[in-house]
Chain A
Amino acid sequence: MKELKILYLYPDMLELYGDYGNLQVLKYRMEQRNISCKIDNYSINDETPNFSSYDIVFAGGGADNEQSILADDLIKYKDNIKKAVQEGVFFLLICGAYQLFGKYYKGVEGNIIPGLEIFPYYTEAINDRKKRCIGNIVLEVELQEGNPTKVIGFENHGGQTFNGMSPFGKVLYGNGNSFGNTHEGFFIGNVIATYLHGPLLSKNPQIADYIIKYCLERKYGEKIELQNLDDSFETKCREQILKRLLK
């Protein structure tokens, strides 16, 4: 039986917006296809994880307080994480985690929280604490050339992210990386970094399958055709929401 291993970073701290659902979706879609899915947790005070030994590394969004506590911890693994990214381990990074992997996060008072500096983007808090990009969001995403797909999620962020260069998608509805932006997130073949909650994969099974396929092909060195699953709930859910938002 084929197996994929997932490393879940700070499950007890980055858990505010139901992002853990992404892992449940991945696990579900693997197990339906008889692929075993093993999830290991890492949090503060745990033994150093071997990032390169995993197929997928996942981290979600958290409360401000928790996020500042763990930023100091995460930075210890900067080199290990950089190496894993270069080796092709898949990284799925949502919201706060998306920000942490960039150059820095500049707070309202101008304080700088250094990021892992793995990707070129940086984030700045908006001066008015009450102003946030909040709402449903729809993107057009092209994970593979010539195969665009719509991605549905929910954004809720005060941080404005700039210098994305290689965005995850084009904004069809909602804000994106900053207020009224044309683009959202950051994407390179083995990294999806985005503000999208929902959780992201729950309404976008095509993204979940892209990740699974990528990881299996990388790990087993063969071409993989994933077996189709019954996605009738997902299909109807998408139809309903797209119809409502993209009138």
Chain B
Amino acid sequence: MNIIYMILLKTINIILKLFGKQGGNIIGKIAIKLNKNMLAYFKINCPVIAVTATNGKTSTNNCMRYTLETAGYKVVSNKEGNNMETGILSTLVKNATLTGKIKADYITFEVDESYVPQVFKTIKLDTLVVLDFFRDQLDRNGEVETLILKINEFLKTYTGNLVLNADDPNVARLGKANPDNKKIYYYRVQKYEHATSGMKEAGEGKFCPFCKTRLEYEYYQYSHIGRFKCPNCNYGENQIYKEAQNVDLKERSFQVEGITYKIQDNSIYTIYNYLAVLSVMNIYKIDADDIIKAFSKFSLKNGRLENVSIKGIPTIINLAKNPTGANVSLRLLKEDEEEKELLFVLNDNVADGFDVSWIWDINFENLFENKVTRIITAGTRQYDIAIRIKTSGFDAKKIVPCENLDEAAKELYKTNTKKYVIANYTALQPTRQAIFKLKE
């Protein structure tokens, strides 16, 4: 029966393609309707590597895929970011033979935090990477702790490789979920120049998950990511597999074990993602030269720290769907010594979460002091974000709320000042389109 389903699904896929549609989740949705255990149909004979996190899944997954491809391997991946069970099913259907065989050397998936147990009770997982946990769309996802416990439960019986961010107390704790699993690989990043002694942005890792004592931090890199330790039970002392040293964001480089890696980005949080990828590549013994080459070229042109030039004006576009995402973007903007203008687009559609109160966890302080000369706001909640920014002390006269994106883009490019654009989930692609229209 499944073979008939496959013929049907693949035919639908071809039809969708003819109409120029990606069919990101649709194929998977139909597949589940046909057979709710469809995932079990696929015969996978190569390592499956998955990455999950609140922030950084798409970039990290694509960087893994790109690095493996640079090393000459055939990789199947949900590179467009469809990371729920349906998206993963779609990817498998598209890349499988009718009998369900996947011809690849590696499969890399990004997986939504809440779908990890569901997907990998069926598909055998060889390596799981966990980057970070931040508060994210509370009205849709609930508290972060609930998600962490769900993954922790799954890991109790998991025996594959586990690659964990040692600088996130919410992630490092997962290394203790299964004491019998010795394949735990911690990575971390040495203190960078803008690290602080206190927490500058809203974060979660305040109490030890094991003994509830308040954690102590030597420094914070951003949000609650940093060198932490529990003064009571010593939680935080982990054997480190890979550590980034000499992080230089101006030069866009860092070192690991004496090897210098050049990268395209200049943000501290992406260094963490590169370390996760590097750890995975080392586990699979990928050649260092291939990693160096891949890292130096990798860039995801879909609004994740995307650098573009519009009418000759340098513009940096970044997605921010939660406080930490917005805070790292603003960090970048504040670290930039040039004069600049900001466009912030805030929607409250279903996929964004209806609750926009998270914008009050964004650290908007000192924008004027950091040479932001004007701020345009747009999206279905353009006034909410305008009020938020005004209340932070930025002169209300220099805030321009716009009714629609075309108007906002036009307003933004009235001046020649450098631009930063921050947009939340459903706002990102429409914002890019509105801006790119001015390019022509």
Contacts and interface: CB of A to CB of B under 8 A. Distances in A.
Contacts of B357: 17-19, 21, 154, 197-199
A122 interface: no
A233 B354 contact: no
Interface string A6-33: 0000001101111111001100100000
A194 interface: no
Interface SS of B by simple majority = helix
A203 B384 contact: yes
B360 A202 contact: yes
B336 interface: no
Interface stretch (A62-70, A76-84, A138-146): A62-70
A199 B358 CA distance: 9
Interface string A201-243: 0110000000000000000000000000010011011001000
B387 A24 contact: no
B135 A199 contact: no
A188 to B, nearest CB: 25
A24 B206 CA distance: 23
A154 B137 CA distance: 13
B143 A237 contact: no
Given A12-B206, A28-B391, A18 B383 contact: no
Contacts of A66: 206-207
Interface in B358-394: 358-361, 383-384, 386-388, 390-393
B354 A136 contact: yes
Interface string A181-201: 000000000000000011100
Contacts of A63: 143-145
A73 B355 CA distance: 30
A21 B390 CA distance: 12
A150 to B, nearest CB: 16
Nearest to B359: A18
Contacts of B308: none
Contacts of A180: none
By size class, the interface of chain B is 20 to 34
Contact of A197 (B207, B355, B383, B392): B355
A165 interface: no
A65 B144 CA distance: 11
B139 interface: yes
Interface string B391-432: 111001001010000000000000000000000000000000
A205 to B, nearest CB: 9
A23 B332 CA distance: 27
Contact of A18 (B143, B212, B360, B396): B360
Given A233-B383, A234-B387, A21 B355 contact: no
A237 B346 CA distance: 13
Nearest to B401: A233
Nearest to A31: B393
A25 B383 contact: no
B365 to A, nearest CB: 10
Contacts of B354: 134-136, 154
A134 B145 contact: no
A156 interface: yes
Given A16-B135, A233-B386, A237-B383, A202 B391 contact: yes
B391 A18 contact: no
Contacts of A28: 390-391, 393
A156 B139 contact: yes
B383 A154 contact: no
Select the residue from A63, A197, A233, A237 with max chain B CB neighbours within 10 A: A233
Contact of B212 (A69, A154, A203): A69
A65 B138 contact: no
A134 B139 contact: yes
B195 interface: no
B202 interface: yes
A176 to B, nearest CB: 17
B208 to A, nearest CB: 12
Contacts of A17: 138, 355, 357
A234 to B, nearest CB: 6
Interface of A: 12-13, 15-21, 24-25, 28, 63-66, 69, 134-136, 154, 156, 197-199, 202-203, 230, 233-234, 236-237, 240
18 contacts: A16-B135, A16-B138, A17-B357, A18-B360, A18-B361, A24-B392, A69-B212, A134-B139, A154-B355, A156-B139, A198-B357, A202-B388, A203-B387, A233-B390, A233-B401, A234-B383, A236-B401, A237-B384
Given A16-B135, A17-B138, A18-B360, 13 more contacts: A17-B355, A21-B388, A24-B360, A24-B391, A24-B392, A28-B391, A64-B143, A66-B206, A199-B357, A202-B391, A233-B396, A233-B399, A240-B383
Interface of B: 135, 138-139, 143-145, 202, 206-207, 212, 354-361, 383-384, 386-388, 390-393, 396, 399, 401
Which 9 pairs between the two chains have the least Cβ-Cβ distance? A18-B360, A237-B383, A21-B360, A18-B357, A233-B386, A197-B357, A28-B391, A154-B355, A233-B387
